[in-house]
């Protein structure tokens, strides 16, 4: 039997219109759509009638399907000759485990494509009025996960390189580790007054943004009860928000929570 094909697709950061044309076509043409928790469910409306929709959601710490089962599922469905779209939040190659899934497919000789998406670490700041690079403020930009490692005593981050070499840093899955992040950056040479923004549910109607600096942000995050999904963005570019804030100021976006 003819083998199917798997599309490993980035669904974008939340706003359902922030998916690529190619990504949308993959949804429309799929026989099977395997989607993650952070994928905007509105996108599933584009699925063809009769398509099988499989939730592979991961709540932090919990897994609806464990990764090996997902890998196996993709292989099995494609071997049945089906078109499978594996839909992931943001960009599939940014903390999306696409490497593991693609490796399994390659091993099983199943054709696949990777369809990039817009990653939250760039898009959420953009919707908060913060460009991650700026001619006057930031020539370097890093994407970092600090997830879970500090508590386990396994901090693999080169804090000195980050603190001293990166103008803008986007931390994914960083809210739980906020205190550690701020302490390490200051300890390794970032100024305590470096601006920080946290953007929760970026690009969605629930977007909330708080700003502060490396000293004040932790308390503020607690005061506003900020939780994941959120991007912790560190750097002078955060100051641009005062000038070019737009999305959460638009009177037509009525459900926005205007935190600041």
Out of 5, 167, 173, 190, the active site residue is: 173
Sole binder of ligand SAH in the list 87, 162, 169, 230 (CB under 6 A): 230
248 is catalytic: no
State the CB neighbour count (10 A cutoff) for residue 148: 13
Contact 139, 167 (CB under 8 A): yes
Give the footprint of ligand SAH on residues 62-121 (CB under 6 A). 88-91, 94-96, 119-120
Compare residues 103 and 193 and give the one whose CB is closer to ligand SAH. Answer: 103
2 is catalytic: no
Is residue 16 near ligand SAH by the rule CB under 6 A?
A: no
Q: Point out the residue whose Cβ comes nearest to ligand SAH.
A: 90
Is residue 39 near ligand SAH by the rule CB under 6 A?
A: no
At residue 73, what are phi and psi to the nearest 5 degrees?
-60, -45
166 is catalytic: no
Out of 5, 15, 31, 36, the active site residue is: 36
Is residue 190 near ligand SAH by the rule CB under 6 A?
A: no
Cis peptide before 91 (omega within 30 of 0): no
Specify the DSSP element, H or E, that contains 171.
Answer: strand 168-172
Using the contact rule CB under 6 A, the part of the chain among 25-33, 222-230, 234-242, 245-253 near ligand SAH is 222-230
Is residue 199 near ligand SAH by the rule CB under 6 A?
A: yes
Contact 89, 11 (CB under 8 A): yes
Is residue 203 near ligand SAH by the rule CB under 6 A?
A: yes
Contact 188, 246 (CB under 8 A): no
Nearest approach, Cβ of residue 151 and ligand SAH (Å): 16
Binding to ligand SAH by CB under 6 A, coded x per residue (else -) over 231-250, reads x-------------------
Binding to ligand SAH by CB under 6 A, coded x per residue (else -) over 123-152, reads -x----------------------------
Nearest C-alpha neighbor of 229 from the set 37, 96, 18, 44 = 37
Compare residues 94 and 132 and give the one whose CB is closer to ligand SAH. Answer: 94
Q: b/e string for 101-140 if b means 16 or more Cβ within 10 A?
A: bbebbeebebebebbbbbbbbbbbbbbbbbbbebeebbee
With a CB cutoff of 8 Å and minimum separation 6, the contacts of 37 are 55, 57, 58, 59, 89
Is residue 217 near ligand SAH by the rule CB under 6 A?
A: no
Nearest C-alpha neighbor of 10 from the set 68, 78, 97, 104 = 97
DSSP lists the bridge partners of residue 170 as 143, 233
Q: Catalog residues that contact ligand SAH under the rule CB under 6 A.
A: 13-14, 38, 88-91, 94-96, 119-120, 124, 172-173, 199, 201-204, 228-231
Active site residues: 36, 58, 173
């Amino acid at each position: 039997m003819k083998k199917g094909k798997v599309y490993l697709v980035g669904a974008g950061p939340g706003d359902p219109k922030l998916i690529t044309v190619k990504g949308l076509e993959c949804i429309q043409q799929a026989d099977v759509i395997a989607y993650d928790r952070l994928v905007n469910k509105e996108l599933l409306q584009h699925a063809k009638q009769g398509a099988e929709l499989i939730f592979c959601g991961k709540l932090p710490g919990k897994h609806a399907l464990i990764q090996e089962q997902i890998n196996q599922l993709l292989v099995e469905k494609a071997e049945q000759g089906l078109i499978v779209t594996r839909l992931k939040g943001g960009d599939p190659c940014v903390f999306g485990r696409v490497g593991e899934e693609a490796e399994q497919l390659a091993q099983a000789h199943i054709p696949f494509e990777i369809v990039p998406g817009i990653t939250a670490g760039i898009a959420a700041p953009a919707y908060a009025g913060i460009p991650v690079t700026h001619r006057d403020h930031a020539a370097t930009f890093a994407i970092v996960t600090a997830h879970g490692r500090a508590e386990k005593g396994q901090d693999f981050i080169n804090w000195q390189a980050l603190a001293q070499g990166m103008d803008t840093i986007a931390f994914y899955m960083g809210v739980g580790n906020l205190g550690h992040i701020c302490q390490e950056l200051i300890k390794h040479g970032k100024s305590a007054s470096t601006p920080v923004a946290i953007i929760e549910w970026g690009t969605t109607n629930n977007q909330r943004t708080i700003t502060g600096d490396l000293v004040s942000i932790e308390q503020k995050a607690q005061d506003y009860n900020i939780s994941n999904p959120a991007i912790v963005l560190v750097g002078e570019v955060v100051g641009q928000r005062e000038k070019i804030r737009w999305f959460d100021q638009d009177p037509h976006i009525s459900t926005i929570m205007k935190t600041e």
